[in-house]
Amino acid sequence: MKCLARLLIRLFIILSVIILFTSCRDKTELEERGFVGAFALDICGESGGLQIAAEIMTLTKRENDDDDEDGENHLLTARGKNFADCLYELQKQSPKELSYALSKVAIISKDILEDEVRLLEVANALAQNKEICGKLLILAAEESAADVLKNCPPDWKTASGFISNYYKHSNRKATAATRLELEAFATSVREGEGFLLPVINVDDKAKSYGFNKTMLVLENRETVICEDEMSGLAFARGVGRGRLLTASHGTDTAAMRVSAQNTRYAFSEEGNRIMCAMTVNVSGHLEEYTGNITVTAQNTEILERIFAKQIMDDIKDTYLFLKHHEIDGFGVSDRIKKYRPKLYELYGETKDYLLEVKVNVIIKS
């Protein structure tokens, strides 16, 4: 009997400990949390400190429903010596416990991207924060990153959701830069590499927004806003749809809107280097044609050749520009790694490759 009593006592103690330490007494309900969907980082004035602007999303319960829905969203700003200080000051302003688990977008100002020390500090802080997902989308702002969040058009339900969805669905129409996520961003910064970032622009007066520019961040952390310098990048990456091309033939001028575009790559060895053969296929329709002659099959073919040469020259100029700055802007290494793994084993990450370009343009009636 004594043995049985001792066994029951031990069992009671074990069950009590399990219940005590696995209970939900410290659980924070969703309604008590503030989820940071997007945040913007700037250098604040002469102090050289850091400023964070964060979009706080709250989740509320629907009546007679167990599902959660988005509640009211608001913007908080805070300043500190570093990223950790900013998060601490931000939390002091919020009555809810802030969480970064649902953060989708980080917007970083040009000032930070040009400051080598501050940029490395920010990249490390973001990458080391266990709450922030490595898939966080990184964007650049030409001026104030906070203003991008502050001036979001009123029809945006949440800036974070709208920006990430807009970038995802409009990438082929609007920007040449690929999606840069936190993991790749932090690696490029730590290893002192150059990288490309899409630039987000929001015009509060016009209620317009978009990603019509690309920012090239060089190894020495100088930045170049790429428009004319890298106009061939979009076609090399296969995201030229929606672009407007203009050309002249004698006294005639024409403008073609690209309605479809794709780029195919083939890789081979030539000597001790990789040969990248790029085939660019473009089709579209004329939006404007001024001249004294009617558009015929013959002059359409002439315009197609002119547009093809223009795109080819732009791609080659972009190739030389990127090669000079030792940046694989065309994503050649990633393509070789994915489609030609044996070739990748021989050459690894390469920015020194030969390029051969062929462009086919079709103007549709």
Give residue 230's pLDDT band: very low, low, confident or very high (50, 70, 90). low
- Whether 155 has a pLDDT exceeding 70, the answer reads no
Once rounded to an integer, what is the mean pLDDT over residues 340-352? Answer: 86
Give residue 166's pLDDT band: very low, low, confident or very high (50, 70, 90). low
Nearest alpha-carbon partner for 359 in 329, 316, 319, 322: 316
Q: Are 260 and 243 in contact (CB under 8 A)?
A: no
94 token code pair = 């919020």
From residue 112, alpha-carbon distances to 125, 152, 275, 357 in Å are 14, 22, 37, 36
Give residue 181's pLDDT band: very low, low, confident or very high (50, 70, 90). confident
Once rounded to an integer, what is the mean pLDDT over residues 250-267? Answer: 86
347 token code pair = 């050459």
Give residue 21's pLDDT band: very low, low, confident or very high (50, 70, 90). low
- Whether 161 has a pLDDT exceeding 80, the answer reads no
- The confidence score (pLDDT) of residue 79 equals 93
- Whether 282 has a pLDDT exceeding 90, the answer reads yes
Once rounded to an integer, what is the mean pLDDT over residues 134-148? Answer: 90
Q: How far apart are CA 46 and CA 26, in angstroms?
A: 42
- Whether 26 has a pLDDT exceeding 90, the answer reads no
CATH 3.30.300.210 location in the chain: 233-364
Regarding the domain delimited by 233-364, which CATH topology (the fold level of the hierarchy) does it fall under?
GMP Synthetase; Chain A, domain 3 (3.30.300)
160 token code pair = 């974070």
- Whether 218 has a pLDDT exceeding 90, the answer reads no
Once rounded to an integer, what is the mean pLDDT over residues 129-147? Answer: 91
Once rounded to an integer, what is the mean pLDDT over residues 58-78? Answer: 60
- Whether 152 has a pLDDT exceeding 60, the answer reads yes
